[in-house]
């Protein structure tokens, strides 16, 4: 192993096995070690979960969706031991879960170290929101509403036009005391923004367990009290008829239409909305806006606003 290289151990698996493999990586390669690596380096950083086979908007594509759990080990005596413990652990796991042989390779350090973070800088959105990656320093000016984010593997840095359109719409609509439902919360960004704009309660849901975890962490990072923002696995919540003044769903047009029509088995998308309440719909490519407006109308919601950035559209509809 030459200097500047790092060992990557990768296992492709389903979500159940992914949990077990992550647990193993965190156990044996979880604590940073300082014996023969520089302090603060990310070796010993535990499990990193990578998912591929999503479309532009975080929807898994059937047959193409893959989950890979990786861990990175720095060279050295300790690293050799860690590798052995992990390989043994994986062998035992493979007796219980159908996991393939781990792929082990050397990668250049600069290739793996969160390359994407280089592109994620503090970002002003709407009139007052300042989105800030948790690792960047920024000087807010008076009036700024600071939202700190570490998106991890979840979607929602604010870099996507749809997220920004939703934030602009939230600034228009959220009032002190609003009861907000955020479906497909991803990193939790929209829920945290809604809270900071004065929402009394926010319920955030996502079908992706990683998003649920990350959204909870980001809520804590922003000091949002657990009583004000609840993050839970799922989609359109059951038993919440008319309980929300505002629902925001930044998912895909096709998914939104199916959610309106309750085709996934969750309650219909407009059900949790109180009469007179607003629904912000995003993740919609311009050509697909009409099908979402149609679906909303079928469910008693009328278009009241439309925002656009590039090809992406956000629709605001109001429940009659």
Enumerate binding residues for ligand SAH (CB under 6 A): 57-59, 154-156, 160, 163, 166, 183-186, 189-190, 205-208, 211, 235, 250-251, 255, 264
In the bound state with ligand SAH, the residue whose beta carbon lies nearer, of 37 and 222, is: 222
Contact assessment for residue 85 and residue 102, using Cβ atoms and an 8 Å cutoff:
no
Q: Which residue has the tokens 């973070």?
A: 117
In the bound state with ligand SAH, the residue whose beta carbon lies nearer, of 25 and 57, is: 57
- Shortest Å, Cβ 230 to ligand SAH: 15
* 130 bridge partner residues: 124, 146
- Shortest Å, Cβ 217 to ligand SAH: 14
In the bound state with ligand SAH, the residue whose beta carbon lies nearer, of 37 and 205, is: 205
Between CA 6 and CA 11 the distance in angstroms is: 16
In the bound state with ligand SAH, the residue whose beta carbon lies nearer, of 99 and 215, is: 215
Structure tokens at 7: 């060992």
- Shortest Å, Cβ 292 to ligand SAH: 14
- Shortest Å, Cβ 72 to ligand SAH: 25
Structure tokens at 189: 């960004």
- Shortest Å, Cβ 246 to ligand SAH: 14
Residues in the chain: 320
Please report, for residues 35, 105, 268, the alpha-carbon distance to residue 5 in angstroms, rounded to integers and kept in the order given: 18, 10, 51
In the bound state with ligand SAH, the residue whose beta carbon lies nearer, of 111 and 263, is: 263
Packing angle, helices 15-29 and 77-96, rounded to 10: 150
- Shortest Å, Cβ 34 to ligand SAH: 36
- Shortest Å, Cβ 41 to ligand SAH: 30
Structure tokens at 241: 């008829």
In the bound state with ligand SAH, the residue whose beta carbon lies nearer, of 89 and 122, is: 122
What is the Cα 190 distance to its own chain's centre? 11
- Shortest Å, Cβ 283 to ligand SAH: 6
DSSP letter assigned to residue 241: T
In the bound state with ligand SAH, the residue whose beta carbon lies nearer, of 71 and 157, is: 157
Q: Sign of torsion, CA 67 24 116 184?
A: positive
Structure tokens at 10: 């990768």
Contact assessment for residue 133 and residue 150, using Cβ atoms and an 8 Å cutoff:
yes
* DSSP-assigned states of every residue in 138-183: --PPTT-EEEEE--TTSS-SS-SHHHHHHHHHHHHH--TT-EEEEE
* DSSP-assigned states of every residue in 292-318: HHHHHHHTTEEEEEEEEETTEEEEEEE
In the bound state with ligand SAH, the residue whose beta carbon lies nearer, of 236 and 301, is: 236
Between CA 21 and CA 8 the distance in angstroms is: 14
């Amino acid at each position: 192993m030459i200097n500047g290289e790092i060992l990557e151990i990768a296992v492709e698996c389903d979500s159940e096995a992914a949990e077990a493999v992550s647990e193993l990586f965190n156990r044996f390669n979880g604590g940073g070690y300082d014996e023969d690596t520089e302090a603060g380096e990310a070796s010993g950083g535990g499990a990193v979960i990578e998912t591929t086979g999503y479309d532009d908007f975080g929807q898994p594509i059937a047959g193409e969706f893959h989950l890979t759990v990786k861990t990175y080990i720095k060279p050295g005596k300790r690293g050799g031991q860690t590798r052995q413990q992990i390989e043994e652990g994986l062998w035992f796991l493979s007796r219980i879960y159908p996991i393939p042989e781990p792929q082990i390779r050397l990668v250049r350090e600069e290739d793996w170290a969160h390359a994407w973070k280089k592109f994620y800088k503090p970002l002003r959105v709407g009139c007052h929101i300042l989105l800030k990656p948790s690792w960047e320093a920024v000087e807010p000016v008076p009036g700024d509403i600071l939202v700190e984010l570490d998106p991890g593997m979840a979607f929602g840095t604010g870099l996507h036009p749809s997220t920004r359109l939703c934030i602009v719409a939230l600034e228009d609509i959220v009032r002190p005391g609003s009861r907000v439902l955020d479906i497909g919360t991803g990193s939790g960004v929209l829920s945290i923004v809604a809270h900071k704009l004065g929402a009394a309660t926010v319920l955030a849901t996502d079908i992706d367990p990683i998003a649920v975890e990350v959204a909870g962490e980001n809520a804590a990072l922003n000091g949002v009290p657990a009583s004000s923002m609840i993050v839970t696995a799922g989609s359109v919540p059951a038993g919440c008829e008319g309980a929300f003044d505002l629902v925001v769903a930044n998912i895909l047009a096709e998914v939104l239409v199916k959610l309106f029509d309750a085709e996934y088995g969750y309650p219909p998308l407009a059900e949790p909305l109180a009469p007179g309440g607003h629904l912000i719909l995003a993740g919609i490519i311009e050509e697909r806006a009409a099908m979402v407006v149609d679906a909303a109308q079928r469910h008693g919601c009328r278009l009241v606003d439309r925002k656009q950035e590039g090809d992406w559209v956000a629709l605001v509809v109001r429940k009659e």
